[in-house]
Amino acid sequence: MLKPQIHKRLDRIEVELTPKEWAIRLVDEIRRHPCEPDFLRALAKGPYRESPYVKPFFMLAKQAEKRYPGQKPENEKATQKLSRDLRMEYQFLKRVINNLSQEVEIKTDKSRLKISALTCQLDGFISRSAFAVIIEKATAWVEGCKTTEADEEKRLLILKELAKAGLVAGSRELLLSLGQDWADDAALLLRNILVHKGAVEVVQKTYFDGHAILNHRIEGELETTIQLVLEAIAMFNEYVSTNTSGLSQRLERSEDGGLRATVGEKRSCTLKIDVEAIRGGMSDLISYIESQWIKKAKNQATADLLEETGEHGDFLSACFKEEVVVKPFV
């Protein structure tokens, strides 16, 4: 337990802290623990007024009183306004911290499920494509074989069986379409999760002086998920680019098959996923996501403070109407 003189000295320091400094202290306290449940358990053990969720509001109110001392009407009015502004700013930052943690956790969980499914699809796609190429080569070899009249029936039977196997593997058009669909899904998944990470970084730089605001568990899962997506894309790109008996060879030879050369050329040039192009084209999306997060947190903080006077209902109703106009139901 702190000695009285140390406690008073600490109070003198804390009463001068800005809302941003209080918010940074909050995220530092959150990140001292491995995950949110551990932080909440530690929070429950301490005094209510010392909680990092509660104490800043009392200290910011004291800061306003200190700034405008006395009981003159103008001082009291200025104190109330400053207190409200300071508490509003801190509540906004607190909402940002909580909202982003929830948003990123949900996005990460969904992305992990998606990349798990895509990885399974990629394994199947590579196996299926390789099988199709083997059948195509075997068919070409059997067709070119010179046989005796006695063996001709066997040769035709083998070709018939190879044709059946080819139907199972799929046509060039189908395999190319499956490959393009996989590439589109993986590129979209990578872009979405990188956009969310980029938006978090913008928020951290703009509102928290670059301090990390996600707890370690969510932060770690986000990085792990991004790495899983990048590894799957690297596997796909390597297969398309370097596998001499896989889809890349089939694309080069598509002019000889049923797929028109113009279509084959178009699909082959877009099949490989350009990770750097994805990274370089995210700025507008990052700005949009960040602005939506900030707008939501500001509206929530405003409603929280208006609840003190019972005026929050009208404000929330106005926010809802604006949301419906901006994003109409479809």
Q: What is the pLDDT of residues 169-223, one digit of tens each?
A: 666 677 777 888 999 999 999 999 999 999 999 999 999 999 999 999 999 999 9
The pLDDT of residue 93 is above 90 = yes
pLDDT at position 264, please? Answer: 37
Q: With cut-offs at 50, 70 and 90, classify the pLDDT of residue 255.
A: very low
User: pLDDT > 70: what percent of the chain?
Assistant: 79
Higher pLDDT pick, 137 / 97: 97
Cβ atoms of 275 and 230 within 8 Å: the answer is yes
Segment among 49-53, 194-198, 273-277, 282-286 with least mean pLDDT: 49-53
Provide mean pLDDT across the span 4-13. Answer: 64
Given this model, what pLDDT does residue 138 score?
77
What is the torsional sign of CA 218, 224, 225, 227?
A: positive
Please state, rounded to an integer, the average pLDDT across all residues of the chain.
82
The radius of gyration computed from the CA coordinates of the chain, to the nearest angstrom, equals 31
Q: Out of 29-38, 135-144, 241-250, 288-297, which region has the weakest mean confidence (pLDDT)? A: 241-250
Instruction: For residue 200, give both structure tokens.
Output: 């978090």
- Judged by phi (left if over 0) then psi (alpha if -120 to 50, else beta), residue 329 lies in beta
Element housing 211 (H / E): none
> Which spans in 208-327 are helix H?
216-242, 247-252, 261-271, 275-280, 283-306, 312-326
Average pLDDT over every residue of 241-257: 48
Question: Which whole number is the average pLDDT over 24-37?
Answer: 89
In the prediction, which pLDDT does 170 show?
62
pLDDT digits (tens, 9 = 90+) for 114-143: 999 999 999 888 877 777 777 777 777 777
The per-residue pLDDT for 248 is 46
Q: What is the residue extent of each domain of the chain?
A: 4-91, 101-287
| 119/67 Cα distance (integer angstroms) | 60
Cβ atoms within 10 A of the Cβ of 59, count? 18
Q: Does residue 324 carry a pLDDT above 70?
A: no
Instruction: With beta carbons less than 8 A apart as the criterion, state whether 247 and 175 touch.
Output: yes
Q: Is the pLDDT of residue 266 over 50?
A: no
Q: Which of 147-161, 179-193, 268-282, 284-298 has the lowest mean pLDDT?
A: 147-161
pLDDT tier at 257 (50, 70, 90 boundaries)? Answer: very low
Predicted model pTM = 0.78
Q: Which CATH number fits domain 101-287: 3.30.450, 2.60.290, 1.10.10, 1.20.1050?
A: 1.20.1050
Please give the pLDDT value at position 142. Answer: 74
More confident residue, 314 or 20: 20
pLDDT band at 245 (very low <50, low <70, confident <90, very high): very low
